[in-house]
Amino acid sequence: MRWRWLLVLPVALALVLVASASRLQVFWWPEQLHDVTAGRQGEPLEVSDVWEDGDGDDRRRDLTVTLVEVRPATEVEGFDGPEPLAPVAGSAVWEVVLRFEVEPEVPLAGCNVSLVDSRGREAEAGGATLGEASIPGADCEPEGRTGPQYDGSRIEGDRPRPPSYDVSVLVVTADDGEPDRVRLWWEAPDVAEISLSAS
Amino acid sequence: MPPREPTSPVATLRAHPWLTSAVAGVAVVLVVVTALGGWARSTPEGAVSVAAGTPVEATPFRIRLDEAAATFVHDGRDAEPGLAFVVVEGRLELEAPESVGFTTVTGAITADLTSTYDQFGSPTEEPEAEVTVTADGSTLLGIGPGLVYDVQVTFVVDEASVPERLTVTLLQHARRASALDGELGWFDATPVARVALDVAPLPATRPEPEGF
Amino acid sequence: MATRWQHVLGTGLLGLGLLAAGSWVQGWVPDDEDDPGAAPHLRRGAVGDALDLRTATVTVDEVLGSTRVEEFGSELVSPGVWVVVRYTVVASEENTAITFAEMRDDEGRVWGLEGRNSNDCVDSPPGLAAHCTVYVEVPPDALPTLRVRLARLSRDTRFDAVAEVDLGLTRADAATFAAAPTYVVPTATLGDEPS
């Protein structure tokens, strides 16, 4: 009769594994981008994004974003205005044009944009130096026209943001990839994924 | 009555079993403890006074301090108005097999200075040493094994309280796991040596700062 | 028949004996520093080998040395010798940089990024090479057995893939390095060609 207790053993082991996986659920899963709002190039995508304010409360922002185009970038902002981008062997620089339709008082600072290619490799738009050029990081607000920051303050000298505008985000990738989709996010786990239309 | 027979030692022992075992037990403990060296001091002696120029083992470092001077200019930097530098020349070496960081280096050296400041001119409770490499003036924010550096240990003090004689205390650390995260590190700095140095006095006048 | 006090004595001696044995065994038990389960997975290779670290491929391109290096306009003079390792990182899936670097010799000495040692690397977008440099000062007697370890995350290498490259230096290199001019550390770059 005693050997029947052995049947409890696999159950106990399974419970142990599940219980110790709580670390994954508490610490790792919330940091992954798993809440996807999917869209297609050219179609306005309504994104509802949750963000945490300074007091730890959840706030919601609603915006409509349209992926206008992803094209090879030809120039970048230099000290004295736009400069042509000199090609660097092995690399490609893409200009991701996004159209935003959002209330001017909605905070949009600190966005992240990445380009996923057909092989599933994800290149993120971050400030980088490529050859002689300095590629800026992702900015979802037009130059000089910003909405409020997350603590309610505003950037000095900037005018209010228009309710509808286009921005270009530059992404550096390897030269052997075909862009397949654009990902846009602020805080995990919400992310907008827009697939490029086949060219 | 027949005369009692003299009691043998064994019989005496047998007659008092508890006392015998207690004595035997204590004897065994004494022998074992002595054999394993348990009578050595568990706490280190207090800091000893050493003369300038004597190498000191301040685990994990070996430090030798040679001379001290007060100055207005150090490594091309001018002291803030009202402040001066006290610079101690010496030699620093790491005896442990793995690199140590900034906190361990600065935690090994302190001095008996009053009214001290940090590098940025803010007053500090405890004197904060800045360790720089003599050869190039770079700050030693950590040190690796096997390398012997000629260093300058600099303190920032009030110009008026520059002493004539300086006692630098060298501290040793113990290697143990951090109570916070279990990582091994060097903790529990305790004084192990005191070096008394004459401080060469400040020049009579503060030099003009370099023009812009 | 053993009497009661003999039982007690026997128990006491046994207890003492077990204590002694336990203390002796304690010295053999792994201490907090050992966490064999979490040990990093070393990918060993030589200069020029492309080592797969799961999230990126790392290749050590070149090993140089000098007693003086220059970065950001200031010169650093070493009482030992500066070992400069130029390497290439190509990320596989996401932007990745190498931030962990360490040099080790066969005597068990470890030189990390503490002190004046420095690793200069930038994020490599997947498929695009980043050319990075790490420089570490070591005593000349460490050169013949010196290896470099490179990995993605400087604060935690447990369970991670770590590249270990034998730098292939010899005692003769110590003399060459001592006589070499100041090495100006290049900034990290992206692209097929290193700067």
The CB density around residue C8, as the number of other CB atoms within 10 Å, is 16
For chain A, which chains pass the contact test of at least 3 CB pairs under 8 Å?
Answer: C
Distance (Å, whole) CA A111 – CA C81: 44
The shortest CB-CB distance from C139 to any of B32, B141, B146 is to B146
* C159 or B97, higher pLDDT: B97
Range of the domain at C122: 40-190
- Would you place residue B10 in the very low, low, confident or very high pLDDT band (cuts 50, 70, 90)? confident
Domains contained in chain C, number: 1
Cβ–Cβ contact A27 with C under 8 A: no
- Chain C contacts of B146, Cβ < 8 Å? 80, 109, 138-139, 141-142
Kindly state whether C135 is in contact with chain B, defined as any CB-CB distance less than 8 angstroms: no
pLDDT grade, residue A82 (50/70/90)? confident
Q: What is the C-alpha to C-alpha distance for residues B206 and B203, in angstroms, rounded to an integer?
A: 7
Confidence of residue B3 (pLDDT cuts 50, 70, 90): low
Does residue C54 register a pLDDT over 90? yes
SS (H, E, C) chain A: CHHHHHHHHHHHHHHHHHHHCHHHHHHHHHHCCCEEEEEECCCCEEEEEEEECCCCCEEEEEEEEEEEEEEECCEEEECCEEEECCCCCCEEEEEEEEEEECCCCCCCCCCEEEEEECCCCEEECCCEEECCEEECCCCCCCCCECCCCCCCCCCCCCECCCCEEEEEEEEEEECCCCEEEEEEECCCCEEEEEECCCC
Q: Indicate the SS3 state at residue C38.
A: helix
C59 vs A4, residue with greater confidence: C59
CATH of the domain at C127: 2.60.40.1240
The pLDDT tens digits for B74-92 are 888 888 888 899 999 999 9
Choose the weakest-confidence range: A10-14, A156-160, B7-11: B7-11
CA distances from B114 to B47, B123, B162, B202 (A): 20, 10, 9, 17
Name subunits touching B (3+ CB pairs < 8 A).
Answer: C
> Å from B183 to nearest chain C CA?
8
CATH number listed for the domain at residues A35-195: 2.60.40.1240
CB contact under 8 A, C110 and B25: no
- Listed by number, the residues of chain A in 56-85 with a beta carbon closer than 8 Å to a beta carbon of chain C are none
Q: Which residues contact B31 (CB under 8 A, 6 or more apart)?
A: none
Mutate which: C24, C109, C145, C155, vs B, most B CBs within 10 A: C109
Q: To the nearest whole angstrom, how far is the Cα of B189 from the nearest Cα of chain C?
A: 20
- CB contacts of A171 in chain C (<8 Å) are 125
* pLDDT of B22: 85
Q: Which two tokens stand for residue C101?
A: 């670097």
Q: What is the pLDDT of residue A165?
A: 95
What residues of C are in contact with residue B28 (Cβ under 8 Å)?
13, 16
**β-bridge mates for residue B107, sequence order:** none
Please state, for a pLDDT cut of 90, what percent of chain B lies above it: 47
- The C-alpha atoms of residue B33 and residue B26 are separated, in whole angstroms, by 10
Give dist(CA B15, CA C145) in Å, integer: 71
User: Which residues lie below 8 Å from residue B111, measured CB to CB, with a gap of 6+?
Assistant: B86, B127, B129, B155, B166, B167, B168, B169
Contacting partners of chain C (3+ CB pairs under 8 A): A, B
What ipTM does this complex have?
Answer: 0.82
* CB spacing of B25 vs C79 below 8 angstroms: no
Task: Tell if the CB–CB gap between C189 and A126 is shorter than 8 Å.
Answer: no
Average pLDDT over residues B39-65: 84
Tell me what pLDDT residue A125 has. Answer: 94
Q: Is the peptide bond before A189 cis (omega within 30 degrees of 0)?
A: yes
Rounded mean pLDDT of C31-47?
A: 80
**How far is residue B102 CA from its own chain's centroid?**
15
DSSP 3-state of C47: coil
Distance CA C117, CA B145 (A): 13
User: Any idea where the domains of chain B sit in the sequence?
Assistant: 38-200
pLDDT digits (tens, 9 = 90+) for C152-188: 998 888 889 999 999 999 999 999 999 999 999 999 9
CB contact (8 A) between residue B144 and residue C77 = no
Interface contact flag, C191 A128, Cβ < 8 Å: no
Lookup: tokens for B176:
């143990």
Touching, A vs B (3+ Cβ pairs under 8 A): no
Give the domain B38-200 fold: Immunoglobulin-like (2.60.40)
Per-residue pLDDT at C157: 85
Choose the closest CB to C192 out of A90, A129, A177.
Answer: A90
| A120 contact residues in C (CB cutoff 8 A) | 93
Task: Select from C92, C128, C193 the Cβ nearest to the Cβ of A172.
Answer: C128
Cβ(C84)–Cβ(C66) below 8 Å: yes
Are residues C12 and B25, on separate chains, in Cβ contact within 8 Å? Answer: yes
**Chain B CB contacts of C77 below 8 Å:** 133, 135-136
pLDDT higher than 80, residue A1: no
Query: pLDDT tens digits, residue range B115-147?
Result: 888 888 788 888 889 999 999 999 999 999 999
Helices (H), chain C: 4-26, 171-179
Alpha-carbon distance A91 to nearest alpha carbon in chain C (angstroms): 6
Please state the rounded mean pLDDT for residues B44-52: 80
In degrees, rounded to 5, the angle at the alpha carbon of residue A83 between the alpha carbons of residues A91 and A197 is: 50
Q: How far is B134 from chain C (nearest CA, A)?
A: 9
Instruction: Confirm if A177 and A121 have CB atoms less than 8 A apart.
Output: yes
Report how far residue C101's alpha carbon sits from residue C155's, in angstroms, rounded to the nearest whole number.
11
- Considering only CB atoms, A122 lies closest to which of C93, C128, C193, namely C93
- Of A39-48, A84-93, A121-130, A190-199, the poorest mean pLDDT is in A190-199
Nearest chain C residue (CA) to B100? C114
Name the residue among B140, B146, B150 with its Cβ closest to that of C115.
B140
What pTM was estimated for this model as a whole? 0.82
* 3-state secondary structure string across C174-193: HHHHHHCCCEECCCCEECCC
Q: Which residues contact B62 (CB under 8 A, 6 or more apart)?
A: B55, B56, B92, B93, B95
